[in-house]
Structures are given as structure tokens and as C-alpha cells.
Structure 1
């Protein structure tokens, strides 16, 4: 009986840890896109203003490579795939020639409030990007 309980408890903790890791990677992926937006804020605003529809703006954001020293530095400290969500194509993310935004990142940029682009808000985006690349929050050795 105790063996069954321990097996069940281990299974629950494993599933929860995997779920939290998946969510952390998704959050970190979005934060990467926002960091790219901060590094290219003027170009991104110009692209969005010139686009006739949000769908065109999203395609424009996804259709070119972006230069992002912030993301390159962040990913140099972490594993390159630490923030890659499951199922994301290998063409997205950082490459030798630049950063290609995914659809989720482009949508997050389009939904971004301009107030978050001010100097006061750059710190929280950068710190969230760095902390999201880590594993899920664990206290006392077990995931929460």
C-alpha cells in the first residue's frame, strides 16, 4: 500500500514539474520576443504603423530577421534551447544571421502596451527574461 502511494506521489510530482517547465518555457519564449522588440523598438513601431492590418503587421514581424544583442547575451548564459517551447520549429529563435520571431512572439509584441517600452519598464522585462529561462520554482526540494 505504501509502495502504491509513493509511486502515485512521484507520478503527480513529475507531471506537475513537467507542466510547470513547459509553462516556464512558454513565458520565457514570449519574454525573448519582447526583448527583441526592445532592442528594435523604432523599427518595430515603424513596421506596425506602416501595416494596414494587424495580420500584415504580424507577418511583417515574423518575415524578417532581427538583431538582438540582449537575447544573444541571455542565451549565451543559458542553454540555447532552454526557452524553446515544445513544438516550435527550428527556424524560429536565434541563428547566426539574426532572430526570427514566432507567431506567439509577434502577437505578444502587437498586444504590448507602449507604456511598457519606457525606460522604467525595461528593467522588469529584462529581469523577467532572465528568470523565466530557469527551471520552475522549487521550495524544499519539491515543485510548487
Structure 2
């Protein structure tokens, strides 16, 4: 898991992407405002070196930038960047899937790998134009 620390009381939803040197830690100081462990929603993307500390809730479809320190609740569909926990909320959910190339582009979902068939996603991954293959359907 490449130096990822997850506190025993933390809860992480399905399809989370967590990069190296991330800490998801409890706060057990008796005089702290947010005692407890983080609760992280589904489809979250947590960048390298991020720190998520205390009894906070991270919503669904959230992106946390590299080296961000998160110590307050984050709503659904938000992006958190480093600094004084700057949070931007988007109306539309983001695609936080983990894509990789194994002879073809695939993504991980619910414990399985699936081929990428979305023309726009394939174009973004390859840096090329949208494929004209009529057999490819937009499946998300």
C-alpha cells in the first residue's frame, strides 16, 4: 500500500482511489473539536500525501488534492486543495475512477476491471481525437 496509514476507526466507501503517503487518522485528544476517525464516502480520489484527520465526514465523489490537510467536513462533489482547506463544490459528480492501461484502457469498479468504451474518456486518456469506431458506445 506504499506508506498509506488508515486509522482503525476510519471508514472508507467503495471505489476510493488513495495514493501514496496518505494519512487517514483519528484524533483522540480529549480537548479536540473533532474527536474520532474520518468517514469517507464513495468514489473519492485522494491525492498523494494528503492528510485527513479527526471525526470528519468526506462526502461522495470528492477529490482531495496532493498534500492537502483536511480537518473539516467536506460536502459531496467537492474538490479540496492544500492551504487553508479551500473547498470548491461542483453541481455535477466528477469521474474519480482509476484508469490504467493493460493492453487497452480499463477502469476499476466494485472490485473488477472493466474496459473503457466511452469515446470521450478514451480520447482524453490517449490525447487523441474522439475515436470514430461505431461499435464503441458511451457507457460512462
TM-score, length-scaled by structure 1:
0.23
| Greater share of residues in helix | 1
Report 1 or 2 for greater relative contact order, CA contacts < 8 Å, sequence distance ≥ 6. 1
Structure with higher Rg: it is: 1
TM-score, length-scaled by structure 2:
0.23
| Greater share of residues in strand | 2
